[in-house]
């Protein structure tokens, strides 16, 4: 075979190979492509609002009536009920409220008459009367939810969305003996009543799923 004939045959073979290569690329580019679907989305989660407020009456300065013991030997006598605060929950979760300041009176809450302080400290009943135990047995600070004295637990839940609670307080003097009553009436000038309020989250929104 002549060299020129071999050259022509080789050229034709190369052309056929090139054509087959282009044809296979077309099949690979369309028939064997991956399926792909794309989409985008977004969501919004609202935050449960926390809005608990405590409005103090008289700028936290409360005025109680002067208090004396009951005129009977074993009676109990009290000041009138005084409104000390109004609590509001405008938020979207319940709140557990705790009020501190009610309960027994202690030495840190009482003040002796300055003009008779030395005399009081030298009296026979000083150690008995000027003690947390005796003061706690004699004087109590009570809470109520109404001006008529409806009992209020110092720990309670304030409902969400417009929950409301008014807080009233009074001081009570319980007679133990005439001598002790007389000592307090002679040497005690005043009792300072202080309150504090705390509110903490009481539920989750939404409620957690039940455990299996």
Residue ranges covered by each domain of the chain? 52-201
pLDDT of the residue at 157 = 96
What is residue 169's three-state secondary structure? Answer: strand
Per-residue pLDDT 10s for the chain (212 aa) are: 555 555 555 555 445 454 445 444 444 444 555 678 777 878 888 888 989 999 887 667 777 888 999 887 678 999 999 999 999 999 999 999 999 989 999 999 999 999 999 999 999 999 999 999 999 999 999 999 999 999 999 999 999 988 999 999 999 999 989 999 999 999 999 998 888 999 999 998 888 888 77
Q: Dihedrals φ, ψ of 180, to 5°? A: -70, -45
User: Which fold would CATH assign to domain 52-201?
Assistant: Immunoglobulin-like (2.60.40)
Residue 180 · residue 49 · CB < 8 Å: no
Q: CB under 8 Å, gap of 24 or more: what pairs does 63-72 form? A: 64/170, 64/171, 64/193, 67/171, 67/173, 67/191, 68/173, 68/185, 69/173, 69/175, 69/181, 69/184, 69/185, 70/173, 70/175, 72/175
| 8 A C-beta contact, residue 194 and residue 64 | no
Distance between CA atoms of residues 202 and 139, nearest Å: 33
């Amino acid at each position: 075979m002549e060299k020129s004939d071999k050259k022509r045959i080789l050229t034709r073979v190369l052309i056929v190979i090139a054509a087959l290569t282009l044809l296979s690329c077309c099949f690979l580019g369309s028939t064997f492509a991956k399926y792909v679907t794309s989409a985008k989305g977004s969501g919004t989660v609202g935050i449960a609002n926390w809005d608990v407020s405590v409005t103090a009456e008289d700028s936290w300065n409360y005025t109680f009536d002067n208090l004396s013991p009951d005129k009977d030997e074993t009676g109990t006598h009290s000041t009138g009920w005084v409104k000390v605060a109004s609590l509001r929950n405008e938020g979207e979760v319940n709140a557990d409220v705790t009020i501190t300041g009610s309960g027994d009176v202690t030495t840190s809450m009482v003040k002796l008459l300055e003009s008779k302080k030395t005399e009081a400290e030298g009296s026979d009943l000083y150690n008995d009367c000027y003690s947390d135990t005796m003061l706690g047995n004699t004087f109590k600070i009570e809470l109520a939810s109404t001006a008529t004295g409806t009992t209020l637990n110092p720990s309670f839940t304030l409902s969400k969305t417009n929950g409301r609670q008014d807080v009233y307080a009074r001081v009570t003097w319980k007679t133990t003996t005439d001598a002790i009553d007389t000592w307090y009436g002679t040497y005690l000038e005043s009792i300072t009543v202080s309150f504090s309020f705390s509110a903490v989250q009481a539920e989750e929104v939404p409620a957690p799923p039940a455990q299996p």
